[in-house]
Structure 1
């Protein structure tokens, strides 16, 4: 039997990961930046320009969203620490997407590198 960790390690062996610094250039060239974390994680903060598609619904959203149907799209994926994104990248490859990369270390590495994020503004109670 395999563990979740085993599945992630196997997925990472099949995909291309880029560092947060390399991700900036990849994002600039990408057609879409996908955040595959859960909705509450996305709402707490995300990369500028990211589209939220939780990992659990990824295959269904890709199949049901015409703007994401082109298998030649340049896609950059991320999650919190890169495990879910690696699994998502493998799923996308299996669906025929040909240009998918994942951010190594995910959102946590992006933050640690001091890269920009979008965070909700707290309401003013003046």
Structure 2
């Protein structure tokens, strides 16, 4: 029986991962930057310009949104540490997307490197 770790390792062997430093260029060249973490994780902080599509809804959201249906889109994905993003990248590859990259180390590596993080503004009730 395969474990989650086995599935992630298999996915990582088939998808293109980019380092945090390479990610900056990949993001500039991307048509879409996708955070595949859960909504509460995204709300605490995310990469600037990222859209939130949780891993569990990825295939459905890409299939339903005409703006995301071109198989030539340049897509960059990330999650917390890169496991879910690798699984998501593999799923998109299996759907026929040709230009999918995953950020090695995910959000944690990005933040640890001192890269910019977007945080939602807390509403003021004054």
TM-score range, shorter chain: over 0.9
How far apart, CA to CA, are the structure 1 residues paired with 2:68 and 2:27? 16
In structure 1, the partner of 2:39 is 39
TM-score normalised over the length of structure 1: 0.97
Q: 2:95 maps to which residue?
A: 95
User: Any stretches of 5+ residues in structure 2 without a counterpart?
Assistant: none
Three-state SS of the structure 1 residue aligned to 2:25 is helix
Provide the residue aligned with 2:117 in structure 1.
Answer: 117
Displacement of 1:125 after TM fit?
6.1
Q: Which runs of 5+ in 1 are unaligned?
A: none
Distance, in Å, in 2 between the alignment partners of 1:100 and 1:111 is 22
Shift, 1:39, TM fit: 0.5
Give the CA deviation at 1:121. Answer: 2.5
How many pairs were matched up? 126
Cα drift, residue 55 of structure 1 = 0.2
Whether 2:97 is the aligned partner of 1:107: answer: no
Task: Point out 4+ residue stretches in structure 1 off by more than 2 angstroms.
Answer: 121-126
Aligned to 2:6: 6
For 1:2-26, what per-residue CA distance to the aligned partner results, in whole angstroms no more than 9, with x for missing partners? Answer: 0000000000000010011100000
Compute the RMSD of aligned alpha carbons.
1.0
Q: Distance in 1 between matches of 2:122 and 2:39?
A: 18
